[in-house]
Amino acid sequence: MNTYFDTGVLVKAYVFETGTREALALIRQAKPPIPLTHFHAIEIRNALRLKRGRREITEAAMAASLRLFQDDIDAGRLEKAPYELASSFQRAELLSSKYGTSTLARTLDILHVAAALEIGCKEFVSFDKRQRRLASLEKLKISPP
Residue 14 sits at φ, ψ, to 5 deg, of: -110, -15
pLDDT per residue as tens digits for the range 128-144: 999 999 999 999 999 99
Q: Where are the domains of the chain?
A: 3-143
- Which residues are within 8 A (CB) of 94 and not within 5 positions of it... i.e. 6 or more apart? none
0.85 cut: is pTM over it? yes
- Confidence band (pLDDT; 50, 70, 90) for 1? low
SS (H, E, C) 22-76: HHHHHHHHCCCCEEECHHHHHHHHHHHHHHHHCCCCCHHHHHHHHHHHHHHHHCC
Q: What is the pLDDT of residues 48-71, one digit of tens each?
A: 999 999 999 999 999 999 999 999
The 10s digit of each residue's pLDDT in 20-46 is: 999 999 999 998 899 999 999 999 999
Class of the CATH-defined domain 3-143: alpha beta
- pLDDT tens per residue, range 71-124: 999 999 999 999 999 999 999 999 999 999 999 999 999 999 999 999 999 999
Amino acid found at 18: T
**How far, in Å, are 59, 62, 73, 80, 122 from residue 66 at the CA level?**
11, 6, 11, 17, 28
